[in-house]
Structure 1
Amino acid sequence: MDSRQSLHKPDFEVAGREVHVAQQPKRPLSKRILAVIWDSWDKSPEERAFVAKIDFWILTYVCIAYFVKYLDQTNISNAYVSGMKEDLVLTGNDLNYLTTYWTIGYILGQIPSQLIMLKIRPSIWLPTLELAWGFLVMGMAAAKNVKTLFVLRFFIGLLEASAYPGIMTLLGNWYTPAELGKRSCIFQASSAAAQMFSGYLQAGLLKMDGRYGVAAWQWLFIFDGIRERGFDHLTMNEGIIGVPIAIYGYFAIPDQPTSSKARWLKPDEKKMGIARMEAVGRQPVKNLTLKKLLSILKSWQLHMFCAIFTAHVLGIRIYSYFNVWLKSTKRWSTAEVNLIPTAGYGAQLLSTLAYAWISDAIGKRWPVIVGACVPAIIGCIILSVWPASNIPAMMAGWILTFLETGAGALIITWIQEICSASAEHRIVIIGIVEAIAFTFQAWVPLFIYNTGKAPRFPIGYQMAAMFFALEAVLVLVARVLNKRFPLKGKEIDELE
């Protein structure tokens, strides 16, 4: 069977146009239900096997790799409330500065990494950075002062910059619109799982406080960077988590269908991958000419999504202070301060997966993104009122702020679909959008979420509510612009 004949165009919006299943022979109700539950169940046996194979290789790599990276990000906050603040004499806004230095590195690495992937295969570039990243994370456990932490956080952020945009670009190379939302959000959910695990891990490691002269918060970074081999010594050259992940990445990452050298893909499967992307109008990587670059820099897609994603990133920052509030109440033990926020991350994980299934089922991203902003706004309003004596209300407010996070994956997914006609637009815009958003995150929280004034920020909760509301409004504007000014393949071809 020709691979193209086994494909059907999904009922979805692609690059400003709506592609309906009605254009093809109508599928039975059972097939449509199966497509909502899991998108490969309604496909031909050949395509179903193909999707299952790329799911196995791609999703396992991206989820494990991002789980470990996000574990590191969460560990900073958990280590802060578990003894690092006192041991290294962190004061005032030092917690924010740790994030700021990481963010600066993350910003500087975003766009170069995306551009490098136009020349160097992701299967080489991403795992290589993973190796270097793992060794630096280990070094945090040996830090003797906050200045050392600042330096390490900068370089960790620089190496980590490739992960999110690079992985989202990789997913867009292989999955159709009916599949991409689920995979993107499953990938995003791995960060929530990491945040949950970090809390449980730190609570468990409190029992090892002082063992072998290592504080509980130091064990957190050691376990993030290495595994313990026995109890007589720590092996610094074995068990590095990043090493097996990186080695796996060299084999698992298939680059893009038109240039894949993955040994686990057969020639017919590579052809099917190409045909699937052609069916939804998603173009492979071509030359990034000066004309095309200028077109990208002037496009409404770039400017609008920079604003949307920046509002999203600045808004979700608020929930990272949940454990700071818990500690300030002096109601709970250190272990409980680490464990209680896992409820928020659990809610985040479930809501992220719900967004994926809903958006794929209705064939649209924008309504789900707007809907995700609503509970977060309500949570911020509750915290703005600050019913300090009403613990259930405070808990509800904090948990609600976690629920918008999954919309971030849908924002990037929407960029991939709106820019299907040009791989260069997708790659460059995702890189710039991430860089701009985190540029603002590097300094805005220092003023509105000043940890010296935590947990009751003078304007922090009101500003977070404003960011979520602004995100929702801008998404509606982007929807209108995409209808009126879609990115067309013919216009892109003229820029070659």
Structure 2
Amino acid sequence: MGHSKRLSTRSKDLESPSCPLQPAQGSVKRKPRKWTYYLWDTLDKPKEERWFMFKLDAALLTFASLGYFIKYLDQSNINSAFVSGMKEDLGLYQNQLNYMQTCWTVGYVIGELPSNITLTRFRPSKWIPTMEVIWSVLTFCLSRANSAKTIYILRFFIGLAESTFYPGMQYIIGSWYRKEELAKRSCIFHTSAAIATMFSGYLMAGVYHLGGRHGFAGWQWLFIVDGVISLPIALAGYFFLPDVPEISKPFYLSDKEIVVAVKRMELEGRQKRQPYSKSKIYKILTSWHIYTLTLLYIFFNNGAAGATPVFAQFLKESKNPKYTLSQINTYPTATYGIQVVSTLIYAWTSDSVFCGARWPAIVFGGTVNIICYVSLAIWDIPLGWKWTCFILMGTGHGLSGLCMAWAHEICTHDNEERAIVIASMNELAYVLQAWLPLIVWQQIEAPEYRKGYITISCLSFALIITAFTIRGLHARETAKRGKGVVEVEEDEGSSVEEARVGGNDDGKAIRV
């Protein structure tokens, strides 16, 4: 196996001076990184593990990103269709758009937690694609909706079908990747939402010209094309989506690579699936994890105007200059371009520069949010700065992957807690989103949503405070857990380090 060395150190020695922002984890002390690691983490791994990671990324990350792309394409297409003829064709001149968003949110909220609990008992590779197929069929049905009531009903069931995907895929991603790999994958997964929102604007501008063909208006063609894109991706999930490592047998991974995947998670302290018990439920409900992480995600998810097309409505209401329909659909894509770029910057810096610390990017995004939304609340500001605020608000939209990565790491020692916390974060964030827009984002107040902009400023401030609170609680918990002795043996050419963690339950060495 080549030359090996054994290191023995207590947990307080694991906090490298070069990583002052990240508390000691009480796990494995890493070997020095090559410069290629800062480009992409797999470039710093042995050949066998690098090939395993390439196949896993190609299958899991591609399906996750495409699946989330079509989800956000649907969510964005409601807004695009609304400003592109649906409002006038169906007579939606009150708060019907808010009600459509709320119906979707209610379905989404109802389904999330039961779905993630289901994923800890059954195969995700069957459950998630099935719900994807149902979602695609319902999307086709939207093209035939001829009243607000019909759209309300369809949006409810679409939300119910969609509820399986985002928290479910975050749970699966957290079951395969290690700490230094997790934020990149979670954030790449999340950027597909911004790309979908951008694409929706360009798609509406393109399909609008199909209006009148075969008796469909341009906005109806948008949902037809949406379904045509969605259905093949949903069906592909049956073949490419892996389950969690201990029960997974995808065709593209060998038995040896599955063993590697299981051992990687053991080294990370990420536990396998266990039966539910009263003591487990009690432990989950009495821990600070579920409450603080849920608050963090509530403040993030509702601390943006993403569900309300504020930029597009500002352009549509503008009289001087007057913007075309194509410009109204395409100019707001700049916000989502900023979201994509900032999200990737957050991921790379969090995993490498800040050594796995998630809070710096969260604090930065919240600060930029406050600057932008306070300015928009004032409203009477120079036109150029107003445009800047509408565009830069995208920097606060890309924190989801970091919040989820942080939750995976904090809940790593209990698989069921991790699944429930991930679902609770997303679910309760949407509980607030189900009714808050009806109060602060009322359509009749567009585009000067003063109440909405003030609300987001306050939520962003709460996000920053919560991030610092979680950082302190996690550091204290880690210090208690990491009092044992950690030993590491690194073999040259080995695909995964061998480690014995004194704080673990079994204290056994792991070797691949």
* TM-score after normalising by structure 1: 0.90
Q: Which position in structure 1 is the counterpart of 2:204?
A: 202
- Structure 2 matches for 1:106-255, cutoff 5 A? 106-226=108-228, 241-255=229-243
Partner AA of 2:410 in structure 1: I
- Structure 2 matches for 1:28-43, cutoff 5 A? 31-43=33-45
Whole-Å separation in 2 of the counterparts to 1:317 and 1:174? 32
- Structure 2 matches for 1:434-473, cutoff 5 A? 434-473=426-465
- Structure 2 matches for 1:427-438, cutoff 5 A? 427-438=419-430
The Cα of 1:493 is off from its aligned counterpart by: 7.3
Name which of 386, 398, 409 aligns with 1:417. Answer: 409
- Structure 2 matches for 1:368-387, cutoff 5 A? 368-387=361-380
- Structure 2 matches for 1:5-24, cutoff 5 A? 17-18=24-25, 23-24=29-30
Partner AA of 1:426 in structure 2: R
Whole-Å separation in 2 of the counterparts to 1:268 and 1:36? 28
Structure 1 residues 453, 492: CA separation in 2 closer, same or farther (over 3 Å shift)? farther
Structure 1 residue 287 corresponds to structure 2 residue 280: no
The Cα of 1:458 is off from its aligned counterpart by: 3.5
Deviations 1:78-126 (A, max 9, x none): 1110000010111221111110000000000000100111111100100
Structure 1 residues 19, 295: CA separation in 2 closer, same or farther (over 3 Å shift)? closer
Name which of 348, 351, 362 aligns with 1:357. Answer: 348
Structure 1 residue 327 corresponds to structure 2 residue 316: yes
Structure 1 residues 19, 326: CA separation in 2 closer, same or farther (over 3 Å shift)? farther
Q: Which position in structure 1 is the counterpart of 2:83?
A: 81
Q: Which position in structure 2 is the counterpart of 1:296?
A: 284
The Cα of 1:209 is off from its aligned counterpart by: 2.0
The Cα of 1:488 is off from its aligned counterpart by: 5.5
Higher RCO structure, 1 or 2 (CA under 8 Å, sep 6+)? 2
Whole-Å separation in 2 of the counterparts to 1:152 and 1:403? 32
Deviations 1:37-69 (A, max 9, x none): 100101111111111110111011101111011
Contact between 2:440 and 2:455, CA under 8 Å: does it hold in 1?
A: yes
Q: What percentage of aligned pairs have identical amino acids?
A: 39
Q: Which position in structure 1 is the counterpart of 2:496?
A: none
Deviations 1:216-275 (A, max 9, x none): 11111111012xxxxxxxxxxxxxx33322222112121111111212210110111011
Structure 1 residue 260 corresponds to structure 2 residue 280: no
The Cα of 1:393 is off from its aligned counterpart by: 1.4
Q: Secondary structure at the match of 2:295?
A: helix
Root-mean-square deviation (CA), in Å?
A: 2.5
Whole-Å separation in 1 of the counterparts to 2:383 and 2:330? 16
Partner AA of 1:279 in structure 2: L
Whole-Å separation in 2 of the counterparts to 1:117 and 1:341? 36
Q: Secondary structure at the match of 1:107?
A: helix
Contact between 1:10 and 1:177, CA under 8 Å: does it hold in 2?
A: no
Whole-Å separation in 1 of the counterparts to 2:251 and 2:128? 18
Matched positions, count? 470
Contact between 2:131 and 2:162, CA under 8 Å: does it hold in 1?
A: yes
Contact between 1:314 and 1:441, CA under 8 Å: does it hold in 2?
A: yes
Structure 1 residues 14, 476: CA separation in 2 closer, same or farther (over 3 Å shift)? closer
Contact between 2:27 and 2:268, CA under 8 Å: does it hold in 1?
A: no
5+ residue gaps, structure 1, are 227-240
Partner AA of 1:132 in structure 2: I
Whole-Å separation in 1 of the counterparts to 2:421 and 2:221? 38
The Cα of 1:391 is off from its aligned counterpart by: 2.2
5+ residue gaps, structure 2, are 6-13, 483-501, 507-512
Contact between 2:92 and 2:148, CA under 8 Å: does it hold in 1?
A: yes
Whole-Å separation in 1 of the counterparts to 2:21 and 2:263? 16
Name which of 63, 67, 70 aligns with 2:69. Answer: 67
Farther-moved stretch of structure 1 (159-168 vs 305-314) = 305-314
